Chain A
Amino acid sequence: MNGRLPLIVNTKCECGHQNPVGTVLCEACGKPLLDDPESGETLEMRYDGMARRSQKADPDVIDRVWNFFSSVKIAIYLIVLTLLGSTLGTIFPQESTFLNIDPSTYYEQRYGTAGEIYYRLGLSHTYESWWFITLLVMIGASLVICSLDRVLPLYKALSRQKIRKHRRFLTRQKVVLVTMVAEDPEVWTARAVQPLKKQGYRVFTDGGALLAEKHRFSRWGPYVIHIGLIVFLLAVLARGLPGLNMDQHLAFPQGDLIHIPDTSYYLKNEKFTVEFYSDEEMPEEFRGKKVLPKLYETKAVLYECTEDCGDPSKEPKLTKVASHPIQVNDPLSYKGMKAYQFDYDLTPVLRSVTPKLVNSRTGDSYGAFKLEMKNPQRSFSAGPYTLELKEKYMEFGLNEAGQPISKSPYPNSPAFLFLIKGPNLPAGGEQYFYFPKQNDKAEFQQDAINDKLGGAGRFLELEVGDMSGVDFSESTSYLNIRVDRAMPFVWIGAGIVMLGLVLGFYWQHRRIWLIVEGGELTLGGHTNKNWFGFRREVSFFLNKMDITADEKSLDNGGGQA
């Protein structure tokens, strides 16, 4: 039925109505226009036989493009292609599932030649590829044009229905009954009104003709679904606009105040907790064998910068704006920005140590000072001594030339070089290497190094008495910081889709036409789905009218379900 119509057709119906090209059933009386009058097949009732907007005798380019997208066949092709395209993306993991990989080598290393081909075809980012997006855009276009092309004619057809239809329109419905009635036509139809109304129909009569209709709104279901999908797709598209969307993955060591890039917010992880299920809470089979986490929680406080914000040379002024215990299904939310629990790391990170300067011979202590790992003070004094911090290494190591270097910027095995001056030391001072971590001290042989630097007579040592002299962040919590200002529209779209689905699938548009003429009752019925229930309803109605017709006998065969 797609555009392959004869060029010149007489579209005027015998009832006098002038129909547009492409009309299947006369818009006014329903008489079948196109096919053989003798045919007994059931009628094609889609869009009530109206011409779709796009069907035109001589299409130009715009019409052709329009026709292309208005075709359901094309829509189905698009759906199937999208379906097949989506499955391709699940063969191997997508690039976006990894935080840190180089895709150009990863796929080959992990999956061999197949992986290499997969990557080269661009399937490692299927859902961001131009062809996939193009498919989605075409589906969007099809949704708009298909709907527009059908909903307007359908609306017109349904809002100006004639009560009296052509007899052939009735007898070629899927539910048909032709039987004798002795009563006067008008009396019979008048009597039929009440039972139909009881069944929830709106009833219109015109002499011996009757039209009963219910749940017409269900016909709009599909179009409501399509509108919802369009809203949804537009909202998804809008997410990509600059400023509407932000997505960052940040580390928050416990106790540190961290700036959230591109915002005026700072977030502090005051305490991160991970809890595991106790043995009592576990099933017997698992006890002592499995460890299951119960809770990840970051006690977070959000600050907003009010002054001196962008300027790194000044300290920003902060005000607390929100605090929330962030859990996996319970993010912190403030003015559209949300912080989600993502990951954690229980490795403690050293923040500062407070060593004492002691005389190793006499055991005298000259006092303690606080040594920060990050931005430490450059000189300290302890009793009569001054210590000047000359070098610091966050992860101590030696380079190829044997010189001390830092292997990373993280304080995993920090080391400090001091120049100590004071009584009983050489005039230029004495160099002293200090490893705050006990195991580093042994591994890198602190004493041996210092013996070499200070000679046999050296007597000063830096020592941390107990754990109170060590400050570290116990753990690090990783949070996702996101802003998604288009989300409300995504939900509105999804809501509209659901509304349309419920309207369209859980109700059916049912119509019954009756003509009583010359002692004969002709009944035709149509529903857009659920014929089974409809036949039952018609049979029930006929019983009320003292006509016995079992459900099956109403079935005219074929037709649409």
Chain B
Amino acid sequence: MNLLKFSNDVFIAAFFLYSIAFMLFTIAIMGRKWSGRKPEEHTARWGKIAFITSSLGLLCHLAYFFTRWAGGGHIPVSNMYEFMSFLSMMVMVAFTVIFSIYRKILLGLFSVPISIIVMAYAAVFPQEVQPLIPSLRSIYLNIHVTLAALGESFFAVGFAAGLMYLLRTVNFKSSSKSDKRQQRGVEFTLFTIIVIIGFLASVFAFRGAGYETVFIRSNVTVDNPGQNDSTIEKVSYKMPPLVAPYHSEIESFQSFFGIKEPLFEAPFWMKGVNAGRKLNTVLWSLLSGAVLYGVLRLIVRKPLGKALQPALDGIDESDLDEITYRAIAIGFPIFTLGALIFAMIWAQVAWGRFWGWDPKEVWALVTWLFYSAYLHLRLARGWQGHKSAWLAVLGFLVVMFTLVGVNLVIAGLHSYAGTD
């Protein structure tokens, strides 16, 4: 058990090292006009420190991974916490690989925060080492999940580079129709990221405060005439309920800033008490995201994209374009092998059918089709620059939906424990 304790400690250490590395990357890029030194020298010097820090973070992260593996007795990719931690680690691996090819300090500014966000998202889930249920006890758990995550991490770096490309090149001064549309697109992407941060902030804030409210709902189903089956469902909210589950009653309520009862009730088509809880979480995320966004806007007094653009001055945009493409081109075969081929092999061994159109399988296929469309458009139709960058951004959205959205919205065979 000492191993597991150590593992948790280095996990936190990795998180802080990444955060520091992110700040250092920020200093390296944003601060290049500060001192009297030449901007290139400043960036190179601070970038090196930042990269060393992030690499130390990655080392801690790897230490977390292997000690948890040793302590838990199986590879730690078996539940949502472990998988997301692993994914954030792979994002750092992909970043390190791409960074060592291209040596673009700026890449750190955008990749490291993705890893930090994913890592924080991991911490939302219960962190116990859970023994493996029979269906997960297979060598293919190791191969399938790790390769899929690695492939997806390269897509994440592609996303980071694509977003950078857009921030670098979208004309924020122009008011032509297509430029406006791109400005809105960039702003929306940034807003989405901020909403995710808002979600994380709300989860940890209310968790820190120990908030809980419990709703119950009794379901009466009439199977045979005259014979009622009633079941009682209970749901515990960890955030103040803005919205209560449809047709539910309060069991215990902890008031929050004078709110003594839910503001409204979930619509009837949201069946199940958990649907109400999820809607509540979404509302809180949007709310805190909007507040955060509003505050940032007040500080910079212009669209965030426009405010970020000067940071990217002097970066060669065609390099960014190529990094986007390269990251995806490196990730695509790995993704195919891990998320499709080994998934099929495992499914064949476990269930006797290599493909069953389970939602998770379908979405892995959708991801694959999306990136193959991307590659065809780029290689055979010459889509580069903006179009290609937008596809890279959108593609990562598809990846995240496959990883998170499918579990939240659609139930299937890949139901990891404790999806929030």
Report A's interface with B, CB cutoff 8 A.
44, 46, 72-73, 75-76, 79-80, 82-83, 86-87, 89-91, 93-94, 96-97, 112, 114, 126-127, 222, 247, 277, 281-286, 292-296, 327-331, 338, 340-342, 480, 482, 484, 487, 490-491, 494, 497-498, 501-502, 505-506, 528-533, 552, 555, 557, 560-561
Contact = CB atoms under 8 A, between A and B. Distances in A.
B380 A72 contact: yes
Contacts of A76: 373, 376-377, 381
Interface stretch (B206-214, B247-255, B315-323): B315-323
Interface in B303-353: 316, 318-319, 321-322, 325-326, 329-330, 332-333, 336-337, 340-341, 344-346, 348-353
Contacts of B370: 83
B131 interface: yes
A294 B131 contact: yes
A341 B140 CA distance: 17
15 contacts: A73-B381, A76-B376, A89-B357, A89-B362, A114-B269, A286-B130, A292-B130, A329-B349, A330-B349, A341-B134, A506-B333, A529-B329, A532-B322, A552-B316, A560-B379
The 7 A-B pairs at the shortest CB distance, nearest first, are namely A501-B333, A283-B128, A329-B138, A72-B380, A482-B352, A328-B134, A83-B369
A46 B135 contact: no
Nearest to A498: B337
B6 interface: no
Interface string B129-162: 1110111011010000000000000000000000
Nearest to A536: B101
B128 A497 contact: no
Contact of A90 (B344, B356, B359): B359
Contacts of A330: 349
Contacts, number: 150
Given A76-B376, A79-B369, A82-B369, A340 B336 contact: no
Interface of B: 101-102, 126, 128-131, 133-135, 137-138, 140, 269, 316, 318-319, 321-322, 325-326, 329-330, 332-333, 336-337, 340-341, 344-346, 348-354, 356-359, 362-363, 365-366, 369-370, 372-373, 376-382, 384, 406, 410-411
Nearest to A338: B352
Please indicate which of the listed interface residues B321, B329, B346, B352 has the most CB atoms of chain A within 10 Å of its own CB.
B352
A501 B338 CA distance: 13
A181 B352 CA distance: 68
A79 B373 contact: yes
Contacts of B128: 283-286
B363 A90 contact: yes
A131 B134 CA distance: 38
A224 B318 CA distance: 29
Contacts of B102: 532
Contact of B319 (A79, A532, A557, A560): A532
Given A90-B363, A480-B352, A505-B330, A283 B336 contact: no
Nearest to B326: A530
Contacts of A83: 366, 369-370, 373
Contact of B378 (A222, A293, A561): A561
A528 B363 CA distance: 30
Contacts of B382: 44, 560
A133 to B, nearest CB: 13
Given A329-B349, A494-B344, A498-B337, A293 B373 contact: no
A327 B170 CA distance: 56
A557 B321 CA distance: 12
Given A294-B134, A557-B318, 7 more contacts: A75-B376, A79-B372, A80-B373, A83-B366, A86-B369, A87-B362, A284-B128
A293 B410 contact: no
B348 A505 contact: no
Nearest to B321: A561
Given A94-B357, A487-B348, A501-B336, A86 B134 contact: no
A30 to B, nearest CB: 19
Contacts of A531: 322
Nearest to B4: A283
Contacts of A484: 352-353
A292 B326 contact: no
B134 A327 contact: yes
Contacts of A501: 332-333, 336-337
A465 B411 CA distance: 50
A277 B131 contact: yes
A247 B352 CA distance: 9
A112 B131 contact: no
Contact of A497 (B137, B316, B336, B411): B336
